[in-house]
Structure 1
């Protein structure tokens, strides 16, 4: 299984409504994508002050395998959502941290 972790530094002016819209669209995509097992999203709740380096929100997608993850990465709906994410984060791509684990 591949755990696809994405951490975000949204710009201050990005509303909670827009953030939820992004997460909702990711949920819809994953609900309809073969090999996508689960998605979780939300704000950082760690008590370790300053350790988040400004990445205050994020989402985690679990995929059955690397093939399913790779299909997600090139999927046109993912590409559109990714564009919205990059546009909404501080410093564009620098406001997005992606880390995949094999679990």
Structure 2
């Protein structure tokens, strides 16, 4: 069963798009270090509905199962990037939403 890991981030106003792009580039680097990562998509919302409520950036990581998600969560590079995201988020951890969705059977 595939696991879709969805992360939405409300960055502080002073965080630049270049800083965000650098953090998302780190996310791509992690991909090469953990087996079971199927895809990573990251970026800024372009929703015509405009109801992001400040969560203008995010990423989705598809894993081939719960074990791969656990390997990602416990990997030191993920922990370092996670700390960086929290440090740049508006309100720290309160500025980040995480949603893990099982897809398929």
Query: How many Å separate the matches in 2 of 1:83 and 1:19?
Result: 14
Aligned residues: 102
Residue of structure 2 in register with 1:28 after alignment: 29
Calculate the TM-score normalised by the size of structure 1.
0.96
Residue of structure 2 in register with 1:91 after alignment: 91
Give the 5 Å matches for 1:1-103.
1-49=2-50, 51-103=51-103
Query: How many Å separate the matches in 1 of 2:26 and 2:70?
Result: 18
Structure 1: gaps (5+ residues): none
Q: Deviations over 1:41-83 (max 9, x none)?
A: 001111112x212100100000000000011001100000000
Query: How many Å separate the matches in 1 of 2:26 and 2:101?
Result: 23
- 4+ residue segments displaced more than 3 Å: none
Structure 2: gaps (5+ residues): none
Query: How many Å separate the matches in 2 of 1:45 and 1:18?
Result: 19
Aligned-residue RMSD, C-alpha: 0.7
